């Protein structure tokens, strides 16, 4: 083992193809889809559906036959691939990227805590068939955001019918409408089986499209990532099969807080990918700023001392260094995952940093380009609006900072909250 920043050749060549989609399919759709919130980006879905389906199929094949996959490669490049792909797609358009067909966060949760049987049963829809499907995760409620122990959605087991009966309201569910109304998708719903138990009572349930009693009641009108739907979902006596509760029987029957820990493990894998999306928006903004500055005679150089740089040049260099720092922290979190090592601390670090950096960079970019930055004739103002969500979802910057603090101090959530 040695320190290396070398991205494998085959990952880079795959990225070139993604770049094509980002540049020629996503960018031209950007403004229109921002103006018409929730209009499904059909052209993008058509272009990417086949690739996403094949990727999911390979993952499932590997699951079915884990030995064959292991022999082929020593260290995985799966997460690295995903990170760079998401960065590139978000460089294209972060809102449209979220409409990528597949399991998304719901799929990630199933992969992280589902049994082999459940993975096959639930993920197959993303790996085959003639039409795309989407997955989503529903955790947040009107009264429960970062504090997930306040979740009130309730799951009660009905032994007469061997079903779970779920009641409650979920909000801010990314792709909820795509998953439940526009495809034969699914939503992983977090609910409590014991409201007095706090986090220990929390369990993930797979709720499939078409389940009676499940309604998308609203899609939010948002600041950014407007191409992606953010749904409110009401579950009213929604009945799902007994084995739609995710995880092994031990997890299901609440050995410790296994179920909740499973959710948190999902975040270790998905946070760097959210950071990757932020990085793509950041790069788009920075590249554009440099382009405009260059057209106006301002060159960014790396061979001048402080006193020979204008304030404008200094700002760009600072933005560039910050973006690079966030990129490298994300790369580290991803690389640990691919090496099969724990990355809870590094994952929270990169997300907290990327959230902060993307917010600052995109807001600064609008300021720097003055009236060009503030007009809708360019995409800069949109990138500023799109960027902000990365400070908020998948753990706010504050929650991620709190996780970093607990890890470096060796404190439990009781000791530091």
Rule CB under 8 A: which residues touch another protein?
Answer: 1-8, 75, 77, 80, 302-308, 317-318, 320-322, 324-326, 328-329, 331-332, 334-336, 338-339, 349, 352-353, 401-402, 404-406, 408-409, 411, 415-416
Minimum distance from CB of 225 to another protein (Å)?
25
Closest CA to 108 of 328, 349, 347, 406: 347
CB 239 within 8 A of CB 186: no
Q: What is the DSSP letter of 7?
A: P
* Residue 346 known to be catalytic: no
Residue 71 or 414: the one with the smaller Cβ distance to another protein is: 414
User: Where are the extended beta strands (E) located within 40-179?
Assistant: 135-138, 154-158, 163-174
371 exposure class (CB count in 10 Å sphere: 0-12, 13-18, 19+): exposed
Residue 196 or 412: the one with the smaller Cβ distance to another protein is: 412
Q: What is the DSSP letter of 83?
A: H
178 exposure class (CB count in 10 Å sphere: 0-12, 13-18, 19+): buried
Residue 223 or 339: the one with the smaller Cβ distance to another protein is: 339
Torsion angle of C-alpha atoms 292, 296, 298, 300, degrees rounded to 10:
30
Residue 56 or 330: the one with the smaller Cβ distance to another protein is: 330
Residue 338 or 381: the one with the smaller Cβ distance to another protein is: 338
Q: Is 224 strand, coil or helix?
A: coil
- Which residues on adjacent β-strands are paired with residue 189? 138, 205
Q: What residues act catalytically?
A: 394
């Amino acid at each position: 083992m040695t320190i290396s920043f070398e991205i494998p050749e085959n990952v880079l060549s795959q990225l070139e193809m993604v770049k094509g989609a980002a540049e020629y399919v996503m960018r031209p759709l950007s403004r229109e889809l921002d103006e018409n919130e929730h209009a499904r980006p059909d052209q993008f879905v058509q272009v990417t559906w086949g690739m996403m389906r094949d990727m999911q199929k390979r993952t499932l094949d590997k699951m079915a036959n884990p030995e064959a996959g292991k022999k082929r490669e020593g260290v995985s490049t799966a997460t690295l691939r995903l990170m760079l792909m998401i960065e590139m797609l978000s460089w294209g358009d972060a809102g449209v990227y979220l409409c990528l067909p597949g399991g998304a966060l719901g799929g990630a949760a199933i992969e992280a805590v589902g049994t082999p049987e459940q993975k096959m049963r639930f993920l197959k829809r993303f790996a085959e068939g003639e039409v795309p499907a989407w997955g989503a995760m529903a955790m947040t409620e009107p009264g429960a955001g970062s504090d997930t122990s306040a979740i009130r959605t309730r799951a009660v087991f009905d032994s007469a019918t061997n079903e779970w009966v779920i009641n409650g309201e979920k909000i801010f569910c990314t792709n909820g409408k795509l998953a439940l109304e526009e495809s034969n998708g699914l939503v992983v719903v977090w609910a409590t089986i014991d409201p007095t138990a706090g986090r220990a009572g929390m369990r993930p349930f797979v709720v499939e499209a078409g389940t009676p009693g499940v309604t998308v009641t609203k899609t939010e009108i948002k600041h950014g990532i407007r191409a992606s739907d953010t749904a409110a979902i009401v579950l009213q006596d929604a009945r799902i099969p007994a084995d739609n509760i995710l995880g092994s029987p031990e997890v299901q029957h609440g050995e410790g807080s296994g179920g909740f820990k499973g959710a948190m493990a999902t975040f270790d894998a998905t946070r760097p990918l959210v950071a990757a999306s932020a990085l793509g928006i950041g790069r788009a903004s920075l590249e554009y700023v440099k382009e405009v500055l260059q057209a106006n005679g301002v060159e960014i150089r790396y061979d001048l001392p402080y006193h020979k740089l204008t304030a404008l040049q200094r700002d760009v260099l600072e933005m560039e260094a910050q973006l690079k720092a966030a990129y490298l922290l994300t790369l580290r979190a991803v690389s640990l995952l691919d090496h099969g090592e724990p990355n809870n601390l590094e994952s929270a670090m990169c997300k907290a940093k990327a959230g902060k950096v993307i917010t600052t960079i995109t807001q600064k970019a609008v300021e720097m380009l003055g009236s060009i930055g503030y007009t809708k004739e360019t995409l800069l103002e949109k990138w500023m609006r799109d960027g902000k969500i990365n400070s908020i979802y998948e753990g706010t910057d504050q929650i991620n900072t709190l996780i970093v603090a607990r890890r470096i101090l060796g404190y439990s959530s009781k000791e530091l909250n």
